[in-house]
Structure 1
Amino acid sequence: MTLKIARVAGQGDGVAETPGGPVFAPLTLSGETVRGVVIDGRMEAPEILEVSPDRIAPVSPHYGDCGGCSLQHWASGPYLDWKRDQVVGALARQRIDTEVEATVAVSPGTRRRLALHARRLEDGRVVLGFKARKSWRLVGVSTCPVADPRLVAAFPALAKVAAAFLEHPKSAPTLHVTWSLDGLDIDVTGIERKSGGLSADRQMQAIRAAREADVARLSMAGETLMMARQPRVQFGPATVPLPTGGFLQAVPEAEAAMVERAVAAVKGARKVADLFCGTGTFTFPLATVASVLAADASAAGIAALKQGIGSARGMKPITAEARDLFRRPLSPYDLKGCEAIVFDPPRAGAIDQTAQVKDTKASVVVGVSCNPQTFARDARVLIDAGFRLETVTPVDQFLWSAHVELVGVFRR
């Protein structure tokens, strides 16, 4: 079929409208004419006959095969506008009309966290990479334009570490690699456990490879195998130990943009609740302007946050509690005295916790989200409770992907 692409859909594929329904064509842009075989509403390998003026040359040698960075062929201006449109559309579906600012861009080469899959080839070599588009097939990568260059430089050493975890044919190790203030932090998942897990010999092999690579810490599914230095991260004035497998925003630039807007929104409040606080991404910057009640389900995250309290001066008091806010949301009584609330939940949103806000004295709520759809759903709850969504700022934390994050400010 020969088709005209009408728009780019929410997952980043181009869409052509046909009498038989929409046809999705990956790696295409609005206005392009494409030709290819259509199966079940998809044209998997479109030949582009007419090119959009917004198309640019991709920067990665793995583009088109690697499943990541699938929008790097799109010029920056219309690409960032499209991300903003995804937020506008999600809000509109909940009948919410508000100011949506321009998308905050991030630079290439700034991502400090990667999940690298490891496989052994038939010739015995170990390769690291990412999944192919809509496939379990591994695409070995030699570089990554979104990653911090220090992570890319470590790829050969990381492959040696990964080799130790390929003991069992059913193991499919993933190296969750973070660049911390103290160097590389690696947590490995996907190890076959039914056969007894990783043998002692292989654990020693992994530890030797990690030491040779000057890795700060090596862990397996959260269990520390070796730690030369405690990996730490900086949140505002505080230096915080990073728990094994702990959550951390992927790009410092994006984190800074979100933190800046949250702190600015709550200024003037004497006490702020930071819900789904993790290890304190927002807690410590917020504590420069108000006392903070912090809560998160991760006991390890709260323990790390408490350790970080002693690392900085000039902060207001911080109280931290390990609590599952999905099972036990903080009630208005628990939030007594909080004049502002910041929440940064997982992709599922925070519908039950949001419902508790109505009967608090908070006059400002800041919602940080990695999912515009669940944010819009929760925003509708706040609006129906008497809040006004003042502004929303999209943040392009995951460069050249369909993923968009945001910060929204509500006032009662």
Structure 2
Amino acid sequence: MPETVTIDHLAHRGDGVALVGDKPIYVPLTLAGETVQIERKGERARLLSVESPSSQRIEPICPHYGVCGGCALQHMEAAAYRAWKEEQVKAALAARGIEADIRPIVEAGPGTRRRAVLSAVRAGGRVLLGYHERMANRLVGIEACPVLTPRIVAALTTLNGLASRLAPRKGELRMSVLDTTAGLDVAIDGADRKTSRDFPALGRFAAEADFARLSVNGEVVIEIRPPALDFAGAAMVPPPGGFVQASAEAEAAMSQTVLEGIGGAKRVADLFAGSGTFALRIAHEAMVLAVESDKPAMAALDTAWRRASGLKTISQDVRDLFRSPLRPEELDGFDAVVFDPPRAGAKEQAAQLALSKVKTVVAVSCNPATLARDLRTLIDGGYALKWVLPVDQFLFSPHIEVVALLTRE
């Protein structure tokens, strides 16, 4: 049954919150102060119409917005959007009793997302390639996306053709697309077992599409050119479908800030190092210990380091830092430590760092809540939080990257 409510504020995932009988109702695609008509489904609701729009409401720039679940905040004016993102960082820190010097947010603009993870499914005799709908398990086939790089957007029709060859009869296909210096690196998981074994045909498709590399179900079908990313002069070729920062602009901003934070350190530990986003840059000035549990990522880092020139030593430790964090006696020989964990944060490692004598810690996180928890541990262990930098790597989403500097006297 339709009902009219007023949006009180935005929740941390970007949904508007209406208070009905002191209970929150979450309404996507709304803004604080708006009067809207909704259809309630438990504590969530579907927006039917905006009766009284906010002055901060603008026209979304994507034709799929509102149905596609990839973006949450295209309808919000830019200054208000930036302020809301900064407030998410402040609120997460305040929840742990932390006050901080928060630097102005760094933005990654439209058309800069170099990594896309798409899904494909067979539906009514055709294949849809895109993202899931908001509040539903259905898929939205996309023909445009304002956050992705122009090269990925231009290839959407071709990628859909590839998905049509490989999508299973039941279930979803997952397609990771990375825009590299050599072209698109396409990695597909969940492909149909029969069609995915036709490597000659798939290789011809990739060559005609001018992909740099095509991988299917964990196997490289063809590599026409090494799909490298430039990490400050080091050419790093990631494993197929491997994790890299989503935006080159955001990566550059975070890397510059990490280098600023470690200052003149001569020995640096890079924890949760991945394929060397920070380690390969730090090695221009310092010796680095890179610690990471993902063996293919570490192999990619090692190859990039060996082929680069002018870098200092990068030693490696393949290690699960959740189960086996570096202990104080292992950390005390380093001038600085950098850590960039997954969304779960670095709880175990932060506890060990708090007991160490390391002078400088630079924390990088894609989750302000777990970062605040880890910063609280370090502050209670004697570190001083110098500053925090929000980086809007995931444009129009509720997610935010954060870089923080801590020092010990």
TM-score range normalised by the length of the shorter chain: over 0.9
How many angstroms does 1:207 deviate by? Answer: 3.0
| SS of residue in 2 equivalent to 1:115 | strand
Question: In structure 2, what is the equivalent of residue 236 of structure 1?
Answer: 232
What's the CA shift string for 1:79-102, capped at 9, x where partnerless? 011111111111111111111222
What letter matches 1:261 in structure 2?
A: T
Alpha-carbon separation, structure 2, partners of 1:373 and 1:358: 18
Alpha-carbon separation, structure 2, partners of 1:331 and 1:200: 45
Alpha-carbon separation, structure 1, partners of 2:261 and 2:176: 33
Match of 1:116 among 115, 118, 122: 118
Matched, 1:265 2:266: no
What's the CA shift string for 1:154-192, capped at 9, x where partnerless? 1111112112212x4224111110011111111112346
| SS of residue in 1 equivalent to 2:46 | coil
Task: Tell which deviates more after alignment, 57-66 or 332-341.
Answer: 332-341
Question: In structure 1, what is the equivalent of residue 356 of structure 2?
Answer: 360
How many angstroms does 1:317 deviate by? Answer: 2.1
Alpha-carbon separation, structure 2, partners of 1:377 and 1:198: 48
Q: Following superposition of structure 1 onto structure 2, how do residues 112-191 of structure 1 map, counting pairs within 5 Å? A: 112-122=114-124, 124-166=125-167, 168-191=168-191
Question: In structure 1, what is the equivalent of residue 375 of structure 2?
Answer: 379
| SS of residue in 2 equivalent to 1:280 | coil
Matched, 1:334 2:336: no
Alpha-carbon separation, structure 1, partners of 2:395 and 2:95: 25
What's the CA shift string for 1:226-281, capped at 9, x where partnerless? 22222111112211121112110000111111111110011121111100011110
Match of 2:270 among 274, 278, 282: 274
How many angstroms does 1:107 deviate by? Answer: 0.8
Alpha-carbon separation, structure 1, partners of 2:19 and 2:91: 19
Alpha-carbon separation, structure 1, partners of 2:159 and 2:383: 49
Matched, 1:344 2:345: no
How many angstroms does 1:218 deviate by? Answer: 1.3
Alpha-carbon separation, structure 2, partners of 1:411 and 1:336: 14
Task: Tell which deviates more after alignment, 78-87 or 34-43.
Answer: 34-43
Q: Is the 8 A contact 2:165 2:195 kept in 1?
A: no
How many angstroms does 1:77 deviate by? Answer: 0.6
Q: Following superposition of structure 1 onto structure 2, how do residues 272-311 of structure 1 map, counting pairs within 5 Å? A: 272-311=268-307
Q: Following superposition of structure 1 onto structure 2, how do residues 207-226 of structure 1 map, counting pairs within 5 Å? A: 207-226=203-222
Q: What CA RMSD, in Å, does the superposition of the two structures yield over aligned residues?
A: 1.6
Q: Is the 8 A contact 1:13 1:26 kept in 2?
A: yes
How many angstroms does 1:72 deviate by? Answer: 0.5
| SS of residue in 1 equivalent to 2:363 | strand
How many angstroms does 1:23 deviate by? Answer: 1.4
Task: Tell which deviates more after alignment, 242-251 or 207-216.
Answer: 207-216
Task: Note closer, same or farther for the CA distance 1:54–1:148 as it changes in structure 2 (3 Å cut).
Answer: same
Q: Is the 8 A contact 1:16 1:22 kept in 2?
A: yes
Alpha-carbon separation, structure 1, partners of 2:307 and 2:204: 32
What letter matches 1:337 in structure 2?
A: G
Question: In structure 2, what is the equivalent of residue 61 of structure 1?
Answer: 63
**TM-score, normalising length from structure 1?**
0.95
What's the CA shift string for 1:29-61, capped at 9, x where partnerless? 011111222231222123111111111110001
What letter matches 1:161 in structure 2?
A: L
How many angstroms does 1:199 deviate by? Answer: 4.5
| SS of residue in 1 equivalent to 2:166 | coil
Q: Is the 8 A contact 2:166 2:195 kept in 1?
A: no
How many angstroms does 1:150 deviate by? Answer: 0.3
How many angstroms does 1:110 deviate by? Answer: 0.5
| SS of residue in 2 equivalent to 1:362 | coil
Task: Tell which deviates more after alignment, 285-294 or 245-254.
Answer: 285-294
Question: In structure 2, what is the equivalent of residue 315 of structure 1?
Answer: 311
How many correspondences in the alignment? 406
Unaligned segments of structure 2, at least 5 residues: none
What's the CA shift string for 1:343-384, capped at 9, x where partnerless? 000011111111111333311101100111111111111011
| SS of residue in 2 equivalent to 1:164 | helix
**TM-score, normalising length from structure 2?**
0.95
Identical amino acids, percent of aligned pairs: 45
Task: Note closer, same or farther for the CA distance 1:127–1:387 as it changes in structure 2 (3 Å cut).
Answer: same
